Amino acid sequence: MTDRAIRILIAKPGLDGHDRGAKVIARALRDAGFEVIYTGLRQTPEMIAEAALQEDVDVVGLSILSGAHQTLVPVIRQTMNAHDLADVPLILGGIIPEQDHAEMAQAGVEAIFGPGTSTADIVTTIRRIVAERGEPTA
């Protein structure tokens, strides 16, 4: 059970037209031994919550480049909570201005990864966040 792979949903909400960054992260996480569920572009909050629930993921990672994080993130967090997924942590990647970080934390985001973050850092942080929640299946 200890070698169980971390399952993460990588979702791209909103109207961003490309997902190169999200795919790079997905590959890096796969190479770190994660199971990455990737759902493609333009995911609605409902789609994200539904996929997170069905896939029983340990964590949800959002990639937002459009600048719409202030509207999207709180809705996604609430939709997940409404699906009984309040215990599933949310992390955020993309271009999130420094001054919005506190607001994102308020909205329930546990970590923010800017464009410069190394994949090693991302992997370590996700591992820590998941470990803090405890083994979900135990």
- Nearest of 103, 42, 108 to residue 81 by alpha carbon: 108
Least Å distance, CB 128 to other proteins, is: 18
H or E stretch covering 63: strand 59-64
Q: Does 46 bind other proteins (CB under 8 A)?
A: yes
Among 13, 14, 16, 38, binds other proteins (CB under 8 A): 38
Least Å distance, CB 39 to other proteins, is: 5
Phi, psi of 124 (to 5 degrees): -60, -45
User: By three-state DSSP, how is residue 31 classified?
Assistant: helix
Q: Does 121 bind other proteins (CB under 8 A)?
A: no
Least Å distance, CB 104 to other proteins, is: 25
Q: Does 100 bind other proteins (CB under 8 A)?
A: no
Among 18, 24, 71, 84, binds other proteins (CB under 8 A): 84
Q: In this structure, which long-range contacts are made by residues 18-23, counting pairs with CB atoms below 8 Å and at least 24 apart in sequence?
A: 19/63, 21/63, 21/65, 21/93, 21/94, 21/115, 22/63, 22/93
In the complex with other proteins, the residue whose CB is nearer, 83 or 101, is 83
Quickly count: other Cβ atoms within 10 Å of residue 59's Cβ: 23
Using CB under 8 A, list all residues that contact other proteins: 1, 3-5, 26-27, 29-40, 44, 46-47, 50-51, 53-56, 83-85, 87, 136-138
